[in-house]
Amino acid sequence: MFKVVGVIGAGQMGSGIAHVFAQHAYQVLIYDISGAQLEKALKSIAQNLERQAKKGVIFETSIQGIMGRIAVTNDLNDFSVCDLVVEAVSENEALKFDLFRKLDEIVGKDAILASNTSSISITRIASVTRRPDKVVGMHFMNPVPVMQLVEVIRGLATSEETFQAISSLVDKLGKEMAVSQDYPGFIVNRILIPMINEAVFALYEGIASAEDIDKGMKLGTNQPMGPLTLADFIGLDTVLAICNVLHDGFKDPKYRPCPLLVKMVNAGYLGKKSGRGFYSY
């Protein structure tokens, strides 16, 4: 059904999503306002494909063909050829609304618009378009080529036809689907972000060091990495943004972000991407 897939945002998530689609024989067009970021994304995809080849996940000989299916642009109007667009920009509601309004004008009337948002309402995003039935959430996990889950979120107006098309697509990408109703945080972040926030509170209250909090959760609950390390990898600004979505959406004080998390974001200590978070990089 889908021939050309547009991906908006050439960051870690966008490049990972583009990688997976191209690997599964889809033509992909990546958009970003930054030419340097587009170059970085292509380089990152090529490196990750080489890594997959070394592990025997793909054949070395297939890399050139996969890369040949990926094109880049900094002109959103080029998305007129896409029959599916996956938006993967930062967790900023106003930015997403603006993009979906523009996309609604650019893509064909039958094209599906998906958001990789990890917490923002699909129903609200869909409401700024004239095709709310064709808007859906496709929340990929990071790193996209490795993680098996795609959280699919149905907005209030998402049609059964759209849902079935995305369900079939997830299967074709070799992924597993978990279906969520459209409430703040969906499934994964509704559970994960309060856990991370609670770990920050444990540090803030002096219960234990960051190292011991992470060691306790890794060795005590068999998680692959501790919650504070994970927060650094996600980006503390993203963690805070999702905390705020949960707090605003449910009006429940249990979701209030820890003051230490707020202070660190204000200081620019955003985790791995800024070189400093709960740990130094």
Is 160 one of the annotated binding-site residues? no
pLDDT classification of 210: cutoffs 50, 70, 90: very high
* Contact status, residue 193 vs residue 246, Cβ threshold 8 Å: yes
**Collapsed DSSP state (helix, strand, coil) of residue 32:** coil
- Residue 139 appears among annotated catalytic residues: yes
Task: Note the Cα 230 to chain centre separation in Å.
Answer: 15
- Residue 118 appears among annotated catalytic residues: yes
Is 12 one of the annotated binding-site residues? yes
Fill in the amino acid letter for 90. S
pLDDT classification of 59: cutoffs 50, 70, 90: very high
* Contact status, residue 166 vs residue 146, Cβ threshold 8 Å: no
* Contact status, residue 30 vs residue 38, Cβ threshold 8 Å: yes
Alpha-carbon distances, residue 170 vs 17, 62, 152 (angstroms): 12, 21, 9
- Catalytic member of 15, 116, 118, 180: 118
pTM for the complete prediction? 0.91
Looking at the chain, the number of H-run helices and the number of E-run strands are: 11, 8
Task: Note the Cα 87 to chain centre separation in Å.
Answer: 9
Report domain extents, the chain: 4-181, 189-273
pLDDT classification of 178: cutoffs 50, 70, 90: very high
Q: Distance (Å, rounded) from C-alpha 64 to C-alpha 24?
A: 13
Q: Distance (Å, rounded) from C-alpha 133 to C-alpha 155?
A: 8
Instruction: Give domain 4-181's CATH architecture.
Output: 3-Layer(aba) Sandwich (3.40)
pLDDT digits (tens, 9 = 90+) for 85-123: 999 998 899 999 999 999 999 999 999 999 999 989 999
Q: Do domains 4-181 and 189-273 have the same CATH topology?
A: no
Contacts of 51 (CB under 8 A, 6+ apart): none
- Catalytic member of 48, 121, 139, 197: 139
Alpha-carbon distances, residue 100 vs 63, 104, 127, 150, 200 (angstroms): 32, 6, 10, 21, 34
Contacts of 55 (CB under 8 A, 6+ apart): none
pLDDT digits (tens, 9 = 90+) for 15-57: 999 999 999 999 999 999 999 999 999 999 999 999 999 999 9
Question: Could you give the residue ranges of the DSSP H alpha helices within the chain?
Answer: 12-23, 35-54, 63-68, 93-106, 122-127, 160-172, 188-204, 210-221, 227-234, 236-250, 259-266
- Residue 151 appears among annotated catalytic residues: yes
pLDDT classification of 230: cutoffs 50, 70, 90: very high
- Catalytic member of 116, 119, 189, 197: 189
Q: Which CATH class is domain 189-273?
A: mainly alpha
